[in-house]
Structure 1
């Protein structure tokens, strides 16, 4: 069914009646907010029923409570995306509870523990980082698409994979602690393009939202831990990467970009890498 985008009464970015799974909807410890939580809240504000997924049950419960307090619809699913069976269970739960999946956002990232002094990491931690940052993305894309193919109509679903400019360039530093993250996001970018081709015939769109220096709780905490700097120096490093005068982006700007990719307004976009980076990747 065609969409009349020129209709005067049309409500922009309306997700009413849609079920959106946000993988990584919880919150890392520390002040501020994460991208996954902001995306979950904004999707609910625009009418979606949100399936909020996270490894941390307390954090994802808080996200659900914030949504419900605003009058939105949401429920929590605890899952470890490093486990294929857990990834499958996410979408089995969504189908059993909500009856459909219209959108999926993979907003998960981890920087595994490492030895800063020796710049070393165990093989187990390195592999776990790749499993979370990349393999979990593959499984969630696969299982989400299998749900979306059951939806009627020409446009059956939208998948948004959250990546990072760390997959393209490095300006704030590099060590073994960041490698599973950077390599995982490189793989995620490729997963997006392959899945976009694979599922286009089913009416499923798959896009990457590539984030630059966003002022998120995870970015602030991990930059300090990865490079042994304090909060002020971490902020300074991030600000130096941004080419725009206004400085770093916020998680709400990430959320609005994800909202566009989830909504019908982006129905003609698939297999793309939308960079929200303040111009950081203009010069390589």
Structure 2
């Protein structure tokens, strides 16, 4: 894509010729689309070859199939991002099959099970949450950036990490049920900044998209399964923290924000924490 932004015939947010890896590109069953799947599909609609990564291979394959059915290019990779070797496997596979990495979106996240009555969690589940939400982000950022720095040009690649306002609003993190998620996202915020600094000279950018109340499969599932909310109670709880009157955002709005960060239009932006939260973080 040309970076002559003044051209009136320029296609905005074009990703043609780019390979975009979406970690967490599958999703759990549910009535809504997940952030990762929506981002993968939108990137493909804007011309990218998409690699959908998920611990559930069938779910990653389903995302790829949806993209292919729309005329796009995609393939799945199975990986458990809690394991360093699996993170390395993602990018080894992409380099062998596609020859390059231009974009990476880290959308993988987990809220481990816990006992609501005693507000307790096993050490194994706590560690699992940290490993997925933070350690996996570290490894994927590092391995993606190492691939991107091999690309030619001043803008070698873009990393987009999905964080959460749970890393800012500490009242959300007081309950053990959300703590590995909130702590993991705090670490992810810092990992993004370190990646941005470390790989700036190579032309690699890294930014955080800090999500608030999004109508996502994960958010709806965990609010109901972990905290025992009904669907209506989930909407009500999220609605209490949104300052804008339209309620929760859809995952497609997440995807469009990620699209901007992946595209050349954002080439002068790195190391930033961008809030997509309906104003929820304004009152702290």
User: What is the TM-score when the length of structure 1 is the normalising length?
Assistant: 0.98
Alpha-carbon separation, structure 1, partners of 2:168 and 2:226: 18
Q: How does 1:1-284 map to 2 (within 5 A)?
A: 3-170=3-170, 174-284=174-284
Is the CA contact (8 Å cut-off) linking 2:105 and 2:160 kept in structure 1? yes
Give the Å deviation of 1:227: 2.2
Give the Å deviation of 1:171: 5.9
Alpha-carbon separation, structure 1, partners of 2:277 and 2:82: 27
Give the Å deviation of 1:228: 2.1
Give the Å deviation of 1:211: 0.4
Alpha-carbon separation, structure 1, partners of 2:283 and 2:175: 22
Q: What residue ranges of structure 1 are gaps of 5+ in the alignment?
A: none
Q: Deviations over 1:100-152 (max 9, x none)?
A: 00000000110111111111111111011100000000000000011001100
Q: Describe the shift of the 1:105–1:86 C-alpha distance in structure 2 as closer, same or farther (beyond 3 A).
A: same
What is the aligned-residue RMSD (CA, Å)?
A: 1.3
Is the CA contact (8 Å cut-off) linking 2:23 and 2:107 kept in structure 1? yes
SS in 1 for 2:258: helix
Aligned residues: 284
SS in 1 for 2:283: coil
Q: Deviations over 1:20-58 (max 9, x none)?
A: 000000011221110000000000000000011000111
Alpha-carbon separation, structure 1, partners of 2:31 and 2:212: 19
Is the CA contact (8 Å cut-off) linking 1:87 and 1:140 kept in structure 2? yes
Q: Deviations over 1:38-91 (max 9, x none)?
A: 000000000000011000111111101100000000000000000000000000
Is the CA contact (8 Å cut-off) linking 1:107 and 1:161 kept in structure 2? yes
User: What is the TM-score when the length of structure 2 is the normalising length?
Assistant: 0.98
Alpha-carbon separation, structure 2, partners of 1:233 and 1:21: 34
Q: Deviations over 1:134-174 (max 9, x none)?
A: 00000000000110011001110000000000000056674
Alpha-carbon separation, structure 1, partners of 2:192 and 2:260: 17
Q: What residue ranges of structure 2 are gaps of 5+ in the alignment?
A: none
SS in 2 for 1:47: coil
